[in-house]
Every structure is written in C-alpha cells, then in structure tokens.
Amino acid sequence: MANKEIEKKEEVKKVSKKKSDTKTSKKTTTTKKVTSKESAPKKRTTKKVDLEQVDNKIKEDLVKEHVKESINEQPKEEVKQEKTKFGIFEYVLLLVIISLVFSLIGYFIGLKGNKSIDDDYVTVNKELREFIEEYNYILENYYGDIDESELINSAIKGMLSAIDEYSGFIDNGSNNNSISLKGEYDGLGIGVLNDDRGNIVIVTIYKDSPAEKAGIEVGDIVSKINGEDMTNQDNSVLVEKVAELDDINLTIIRDDEELEFNLKKEHVVLQSVGYEMLENNIGYIQVGIFAENTDEQFEEALTSLENQNMQSLIIDLRGNSGGHLTTVKNMLSLFLNDTHVIYQTEDENGIEKVYSTGNEDKDYEIVVLQDLSSASASEVMASALREQLDAYIVGTTSFGKGTVQTLRVVDGIGEYKVTTMKWLTSNGVWIDSNGIAPDLEVQLNEEYYSNPTRENDNQFQAAVDYLKGEN
C-alpha cells in the first residue's frame, strides 16, 4: 500500500509539472518578441491582444461605472494611467478602444436606466471582440510589415469620421492649431504648411519671436534644418525636429536665393488681442481666437481703454473661429454680474445653465462685429452680450456652430477631439447651422480685399457710425 501511494504521488507530481511546463511554454510563446528586423518580418513581432484579458478589463470597468452612479459621481475626462499586466502597446490599445466605444456607440454606462451590468457587458464585449479579432487577423495575415501605432491611428480616424465634421484625430506633428489655442509655446515663432509642390512654407511669423527678430519672412521655403534636407518632407517632420533641438540652423529659399539663419528657441506668447482708442472715446478691441490666455490679454485691453475714459466699445470677432469656452466665460464675466446666464449646455443628462462670475454690469454701449467666419465661442460672446446687455451686432450672419468638442490625449497614440454636447445661447436658442443674424447687415466692400484699410472697411465704419448716433 505504501508503494502504491508513493507511485500515485509521483504521478500527481508528473502531471502537475507537465501542466506547469505547458503554461510556462504558452506564456513564453505569447510574450516573446523578435528583436531583429532582418530575422523576421515585422508582422511576426506584433503582439496579439488577449480577448480574455480584455473581457476581464471591461467587466471591471463596468462594475466601477455602476459604483460611480450609485454615489452620483461623474466619470472624469482625464486619461489616468493604471498598472496592468499588459505591455505598453496593449494598454494603450485597450484605453483607446474602451474610451472610443463608450463615446461613440452610445453606451454611457450607468446612465441607461434599466440595463444591468451583464446586459451592458455582453453588448460592449461583443463590439470589442469583433474589433480585436479583426485586428489580430490583420496582424497575423498581412503579407508585409505593419506599424501597429499607425494601424490604431487609422482605426480611430475611421471611427471619428463616421460621427460629425467636428470630431477628428489630431496628428502629433500637426500642432499649429494646438499652439494657437494654447496661446504660448517654446519654439521659433513660425507656422508652416506644405504647398502644392511639397515645399515646407512659412505662413505665419509670430510677433517678438526668434524668427521675426532674425528676419525670416512669410513665404520663405525651409530647405534644410541643421543641414538635413527638408525637400519633399511633410511639415510635421520640421515641427518634430524643432521640438527636439534648442539651437537651430535653418536654410531658407527666398526669391531663388539660399539664406541661412541661426536661431535659438524662446518662449513665445501669441497675441490674440489688439486694441486702440478711436475718436469720440470709442474703444476698439479685436479678438483673433479664444486661446487659453486670450482672457488675460482681453482684460488688460479693456482696463486700459476704460482708464482712458472709454464711452463705448467695438468688439471685433470677424474671422474668429472660436476656442475655449472657459476663456469666453471669463471674458463675458468682465461685462456681466453673476445673476446673468451667459450660455447653456445640453447633453444626455439634460440642460445646464452657465452663469457669469462677474461683479457688475457695464453701462456703456457695445457693438459686436461678426462675419461668416465668426463661430463657436465667438457666437457665445455675441449672443450673450446681445441677450443680456443689449449689445448691437453689425456685419453678416455668423457661422452657426452649436456643438462642443472635448480633447482626449492618449500616450503613444496622439490626441483626438469628439463632440460631447450642444451649447445654447443664454436664452436657450440652439444656433447650429443657422448662425446669429446681425442687427445691421453690412456686406464687406470688395475693395477691402485688394486694399484692406480702415477707409475700405465699411463694416467697421458702420459700427463707428452707430455709436456716434449716425445710423
């Protein structure tokens, strides 16, 4: 009997060891990487996403969302880093997929009422499994090399393109718009684009920037950076090179002549506000965009004009495509006390009224100049000043953008924006596609386009005449 028991124990040990060896072998197989591009094509070095791990991750997230609902806690916008057993790429992939699925297919967990966790889990799980199965199939069966990051980027672009015209993926290199909205950055103070021949052309020179001080001009073609040829390169390559360097040598082609400029990056603050005092104590403030620092610049301009005994004000929002809602809220709070609604937002949770945080109502007359390019935050400002302070609008009907986008940043992938809500005027009007009609419609003179002077700016002249009592 003793011998038989010993034999049985030995058999159990052998079976246990065999299972352990099998698990170790499987684990090694799924996590092994080929480090040499020459030894194997890239598709064999890719990592498949484990569906079972994804299932568990989704299940945990769904439970967490229902716990949040029970204590009336709203999901946070920021992307948080978590410790998981995935590698970096699998983690980023899961983060992108989960956030997009919740945003794009309408499953805002915990807000649907009578659905159970299991119902939500089965539906979302099915959608993700289908995506991941096709992703793995492509990695395993494509005949050539595959860039996994580009594959995910393309998938995100495809999903966002199916929603609306304002949702979209933002490439890492194309940061001109991001810089404009931030209002400051460390760089040379230039904006670049590719022309129809593939040249990298300087289209913007920011005031007091290293580029302006060095004598670089709009229209210059960048042919080299630190000796590296930029011919037929995408402008994002130049942007990335500048980000990596401190001391920069640019070779510029201007009028078929090659010029060299040695530059050092500096902190560049973009001026989005311009102002001056006109005759009859009429103040004039022009706002180019609602960047993160525009409200500070606007307050400085308004204070300066008021200290000069300003009696009335023109706010020029022509060509202003919008920007940050927080910025326009701060600007409107300079004109209205905290009893005033300045705009409203609407999403699946209902309508929320946003109030001014100001201390007083301004008592001078205000004229807002707008045109077809005045959109979004520009329309928030124009509508609030008219509805709450009887401001007068001159120009043409505005663009009509009545939605709000939220920016999402994913490490290793990039950033994208997705439409998350509507905005309504302070009186609850949704202006999307309709725009804001002016009180006095004035089409800009054709002469202004060829000779942009104040004398040819009949919209500006109409605003001045109104405040002088001549309209």
Catalytic residues: 376, 401, 405
Do residues 284 and 308 lie in contact, with contact meaning Cβ atoms separated by under 8 Å? no
Distance CA 351, CA 427 (A): 12
Number of Cβ atoms within 10 Å of the Cβ of 63: 13
| Number of neighbours of residue 28 by Cβ within 10 angstroms | 9
Length reported for the chain: 471
Query: What residue type is 216 in one-letter code?
Result: I
Q: How far is CA 8 from CA 4, 5, 13, 20, 22, in A?
A: 6, 5, 9, 18, 21
Q: Decide: 433 and 164 in contact? Cβ < 8 Å.
A: no
Give the three-class secondary structure for 209: coil
Residues 290, 303: Cα–Cα separation, whole Å: 18
Q: What is the DSSP secondary structure assignment for residue 290, as one 8-state letter?
A: B
Q: Residue 426 is which amino acid?
A: S
Q: Residue 110 to residues 25, 79, 123, 406: CA-CA distances in angstroms?
A: 41, 19, 14, 21
Tell me how many degrees the CA angle 364-306-365 measures, rounded to the nearest 5.
15
Q: Give CA–CA dist 435/322, Å, rounded.
A: 13
> Given its phi and psi angles, is residue 404 left (phi above 0), alpha (psi -120 to 50 degrees) or beta?
beta
Placement of tokens 């073609």 in the chain: 221
Q: Which uninterrupted H or E stretch holds 213?
A: helix 210-214
Q: Is 360 exposed, middle or buried (0-12, 13-18, 19+ CB in 10 A)?
A: exposed
